[in-house]
Amino acid sequence: MEKRVQRIKELLEEKKAEDVQIFDLRDKGYFVDFVVIATSLGDKHTLALLDFLKEKLKPEGEQFLKIQSSEDWVVIDLGDIIVHIMTEAYRKRYNIEEFLEEIKEQE
């Protein structure tokens, strides 16, 4: 599973996503094991990153179970991994990292 998450991070960074973070939430009672968060350079970049991930990961056997998207935010459900790609403004607005850090620190 770590290889899958690292692959996602590498692909996002390859296409200039910024501040890509991985949250390992295994054994924390969260509904997925990993969450990946990345900042896009703008609205078109957000959707381009989604397309790039689909293009690269589907042939590797990754299943995109559900995708919710707007120009500012994309959420990709890969089953045991959730990927959030959002513009800088949305990332600051929702501050998902703080919420995930709280979950991560729970025992």
Give the model's pLDDT for residue 105. 87
Q: Has this prediction a pTM greater than 0.75?
A: yes
- CATH for 2-97 (3.30.460.10, 3.30.565.10, 2.130.10.10, 1.10.150.120): 3.30.460.10
pLDDT per position as a tens digit, 28-64: 989 999 999 999 999 899 999 999 999 999 999 999 9
Give the model's pLDDT for residue 71. 79
**DSSP letters for 16-71:** T-EEEEEEE-TTTT-SSSEEEEEEESSHHHHHHHHHHHHHHHGGGT----EEEE-S
